[in-house]
Amino acid sequence: MEIVDAAGHRRQESPSSFFLGMVSPENNKLFDKYEVGRLLGCGAFAKVYHARELETGRSVAIKVINKSRIAGNANLMNNIKREISIMSRLRHCHIVKLFEVMATKRKIYFVLEFVKGGELFARVAKGRFSEDLGRRYFQQLIAAVSYCHLRGVYHRDLKPENLLVDENGDLKVSDFGLSALRRSDGGDDGLLRTLCGTPAYVAPEILAKRGYDGAKIDVWSCGVVLFVLTAGYLPFNDPNLMNMYRKIYKGEFRCPKWMSPDLKRVLTRILDTNPETRITIDEIKRDPWFRKGYREVKEIGGGGGGCGPAEDEKKLRDLNAFDIISFSRGLDLSGLFDSRYRAAEDVELLTAEEESPERVIGKVEEAVKAENGAVHLRKTKGWGVELEGQNGNFVLGLEVRRLTDRLVVVEVKRNGGEAAAALWNDKIRPAIQVSGG
């Protein structure tokens, strides 16, 4: 059996190892190169394991994507292609490293830096940070985001769940599953139009769906992150999702009394609902509050632990990179954040000019009919439906609400793991998808 590695080199492996998923059951060896250990996490399309590189002894994280789970899903395949293109541009000490990519006919393996400290999300769950500590993490976040923007890369889903902390207490940006390249899905004006992001962190111009600047929405999300780190709660939050969106759209938030005047001023400039007057990355870097204790990140070649572009870019295994497949849901902080707001894919936005609540529900009903009785549909209050698997293995709830005269929101709630995710991603989402959504 032929294996293709990240550099495009091909080599033969025994058929027996292929049918065993490339991991020997006797010694947990992957490609005779990595010793695979415990399961760290899993999602609808990938699983991640702790592993040890046999030659060096270093710890790594290995994501395993089953190709059968993404077969036929053009959006996921395009995301993978785009993210590989993005990876080739990035190399920074505050970005999770990708050491190697391997593939067989059935699976894709991503060998990533193992970030021992876990999510920043888990740390802030224990209580708000001091202003100095919040500023330190914010400085490192801005350094990484600035580096990306200079290379035409926009993250579009910055939040504490996607920020990791290493054993030295330094921040690492991860999970670029929603990232985009400059003009990659924009029109002649260069604006992006894909609706994405985690609801509590999305910029108001995304809700308006008139096209947006990827750099400016990343700045907004960085501001929400800074607020969460130093306040201990979200600036825009409400048990009712529509009320939360209205607060974001209007920019309605209050800084707590313990924040310094300078921090409040910075947050006000970042969380400006007008993207034209919102502070830029360069302006943030020049701000006196930001610059306190700031150390410029120096670019160091070599692809190791330094920041900046390495000199040897011939091998993909030497690239520092973002996660290719977004699978992590993050820690459930019941009591601090509403769990409904964690997942970017839990919400779809459609324009009322092209759709109405009635038509959206009608499309869902048509999609369910095509399942030939495998899915039961029950209407709920308002414009809502509840879908349940015939054997009760999953429940998928959808509710359509009107946000403004121009915009309706489809709120999605899932319970049932991969079965619910498959119904949503493969059947329902394509049925209600509209141009530009």
HSE, side-chain direction, 13 A CA sphere, residue 177? 19
Instruction: List, as one string, the DSSP characters of 131-199.
Output: HHHHHHHHHHHHHHHHHHHHTTEE-S--SGGGEEE-TTS-EEE---TT-EETTSS--TT--B----S-G
Q: For residues 291 and 48, what is the distance between their CA atoms, to the nearest angstrom?
A: 37
Pair of tokens at residue 181:
């390249």
Strands 153-154 and 163-165: unpaired
Tokens 């108001």 identify what position? 204
Give the gyration radius of the chain's Cα atoms: 22
By C-alpha distance, which of 60, 67, 64 is closest to 98? 60
| Given 5, 157, 170, 272, the catalytic residue | 157
Q: For residues 281 and 48, what is the distance between their CA atoms, to the nearest angstrom?
A: 33
Amino acid at position 260, single letter = S
Q: For residues 189 and 377, what is the distance between their CA atoms, to the nearest angstrom?
A: 42
**Residue 185, phi then psi, degrees to nearest 5:** -135, 25
Q: Among this protein's residues, is 170 annotated catalytic?
A: no
SS3 35: strand
Strands 383-389 and 171-173: unpaired
Tokens 């999770």 identify what position? 96
CB burial class (10 A; 0-12, 13-18, 19+) of residue 34? buried
Pair of tokens at residue 251:
């920019």
Q: Are 174 and 162 in contact (CB under 8 A)?
A: yes
Q: Render the burial of 50-69: b for 16+ CB within 10 Å, e for the rest.
A: ebbeeeeeeebbbbbbeeeb
Q: What share of the chain is helix, strand, coil (3-state, %, to 5)?
A: 35, 25, 45
Residues with catalytic function: 157
